[in-house]
Every structure is written in C-alpha cells, then in structure tokens.
Amino acid sequence: MVKLLNKALIAALVLSPVMAAPAMAATNGALSTSSSSGTVDFTAVIPSMVRISGLTDMTLNVTPDAVTSPYFSREDTESKFCVYSNIGADGGYTLKVDGTAGTTNPFALTNAATNAKLSYDVWVSDNVNNSFKNYTWPGNVVTGYKTTAGGKARPATLNCSDVGNNALVHVGVNNSNILAATAGTYKGTLTITVSTI
C-alpha cells in the first residue's frame, strides 16, 4: 500500500488594515434655531487576501490488478480544495507545491522503515473539472490562477461553502516505480501555498 499524506499550508496574507481613520473630511455644524449639519467620512480598506482550506489526505491503495492493467501505467488520486481570493473580480492567486524531491519524478514518498524513496508526479488546477491543468515540481510557482476559472463565482466565504471547492491537486505514481519498489508504506507531505498576486 502506498500512502500519500497531503497537508495544507494556509496562507492568509493581510497587507493593510481594513478600517482607516474615519472623519478625515468631517465638518461640524453650526448652532442653529432650526437645524445643524455636519459630515463624516467612513473609509474601509479591504486588503488583498488569499486562503486555502479544505485539503484532505490522499491514499493510494496499490493492488496487483491495478499495476498490471494494460490500460493504465500510473496510479492516480487527487484532492479538491477551496481557495478564497479577493483580488479583482476573478479572485486571482498564485500556487506553489513543495515536498520531498524525487529522483525519476519531481516528488518522492519515503518508506520510514527502509528510507527508500518512491518518486511521483503532481499536477494542480484552478478548475476542478480539469485535473491536469499544470504539471508542477518543488518550488515552481504556478501563476495566473483564478477562483473563477472553472466557471464558478468568486467565493464570498473563506471555506467556499457558497460555491464549493474550486481547485485541486492531483498525484500519480508510475507503475514502473511501484513495481521497482519494495513492499511497504510510503508517505510524503505536500505543502501547497497560495499567494496574492
């Protein structure tokens, strides 16, 4: 069995205070027998913010039938999650995936008992209907992502309870690598970081 542990790094960037000082253009009223008027300005600044949430662990259960299938040369799984961004009408952001570097493939799982590595591939997408939008590797920053890319509305909640998950991470371990590995449990951690543009 190959186990892939996927954990999220929540990146919430607060760039500036939201509420600035009000009454910058305040004017006072005058004493009057009828009415007295004044004005006050209230200013709110919403900073650029982005947040990832809802990531779940992924597990690949490798079976003999699967790795010997003539139709598939790789064992895949994926996890959908939520990205909130208030940058522009489209909710723009960048995404980066980090993890243990592999040898034959960009990432690697590790067998804690033997310290053996099992390399694998990672794709990411800002569209839950497109699992293979961008192939990525440790340190690579995927740019131009939008929370509206899949035709969804920009989330107005931090956990996408209004629109549902809008991004995904997809992993795949080649059958050739699985067959070359010794039996055991292999684990790894992916750190996914979303950032303001």
Partner 1 sequence: MVRNILAFLAIAPIAAMVFPAASGHASATLLPAPMAPSPVPVHSGPRADLKLYAHSAHTVWSGSGDAWDAVDLCLASNTGRYRLRIASQGGGSLMGPGKLRYTISLTDGAGVSHEVTLEDQLLVAIEGQAPADASCDRGPNATLRLRAPQDELLKGQAGRYLDRLRLTIDPL
What's the min distance (Å) between Cβ of 89 and partner 1?
6
Interaction between residue 115 and partner 1 (CB under 8 A)? no
Residue range at the interface with partner 1 (CB under 8 A); choices 14-22, 134-142, 169-177, 182-190? 14-22
Dihedral sign computed on CA atoms, order 158, 159, 165, 167: positive
Residue range at the interface with partner 1 (CB under 8 A); choices 39-47, 68-76, 98-106, 134-142? 39-47
Interaction between residue 84 and partner 1 (CB under 8 A)? yes
What's the min distance (Å) between Cβ of 148 and partner 1?
12
Interaction between residue 9 and partner 1 (CB under 8 A)? no
Q: Residue 73 or 161: which CB sits closer to partner 1?
A: 161
Which CA distances in Å does 177 have to 2, 68, 180? Answer: 11, 13, 5
Task: Compute the radius of gyration of the chain from its Cα atoms.
Answer: 24
d(CA 186, CA 183): 9
Q: Footprint of partner 1 on residues 157-176 (CB under 8 A)?
A: 157-158
Buried-state track 134-173, b at ≥16 Cβ within 10 A, e below 16: bebebebebeebbbbbbebebbeeeebeebebbbbbbbbb
Give the residues lining the site for partner 1 (CB under 8 A): 12, 14, 17-23, 25-49, 84, 86-89, 156-158
